[in-house]
Copies of this chain bind each other. A is one copy, B any other.
Amino acid sequence: MSRKEEITNLLTCFRKIHPISRDSEEAIIDLSSLVSVKKNQDLQPIGVTCRTIYFVQSGLARIYYYKDGNEITEYFAFENDIIVRAESLFTGKPSKKAIQAVEDTVFIGIPSAQLFELYDSFPDIERLFRKIIESTYVDTVNRIESIQFHTAEERYTQLLSENPSMIQRIPLKHIASYLGITQVSLSRIRAIR
């Protein structure tokens, strides 16, 4: 697949969220580039300010950080998902988080400064990204509910039903920290079923 064709995939995904003009699409394509990252390699390391908005073209990636010496996975991004360290992108501060390829992964990257400049000339692009944030925000609020009011077992079962392939594709230690439990607890939960 050519670079242009691959990025066209992204546009298809955007169109479902908020259709933008042909000119706006062109402007985004001009900014976009493809980045390939090998399994277990960091796309963006800890300590660097986030200046690029990524989407997963193919493969699978995660955001992780360290908490008391333990690695915590905050987010998984599958094909066509956005992956961004928002706490850094929206504040300009160096990120305490890293983006890592869980499998060999191809990302589409859009430099944030240049994208934000487009917002002035293309209000429909700003609207598209506003809607993306809104939807991401709703997901995040729902995730809080899931964490606070379901047991680890319930959350694991739900994850399994929503996305069965995760268990095959992602090391259980990452899933455990994503669920907010230890790997031992996850193993225990899996043993019961």
Contacts and interface: CB of A to CB of B under 8 A. Distances in A.
Interface of A: 67, 72, 74, 86-87, 90-91, 119, 123, 126-127, 129-130, 133-138, 140-145, 147-149, 180
Contacts of A74: 141, 144-145
A176 to B, nearest CB: 11
A133 B137 contact: yes
A136 B123 CA distance: 22
A67 B149 CA distance: 8
Nearest to A177: B148
B135 A90 contact: yes
A90 B90 CA distance: 20
A119 to B, nearest CB: 7
Contacts of A149: 67, 72, 180
Nearest to A68: B149
A137 B72 contact: no
A133 B130 contact: yes
Contacts of A143: 144
7 contacts: A67-B149, A86-B137, A90-B135, A133-B133, A133-B137, A136-B137, A143-B144
Nearest to A146: B144
Contacts of A142: 87
A96 to B, nearest CB: 10
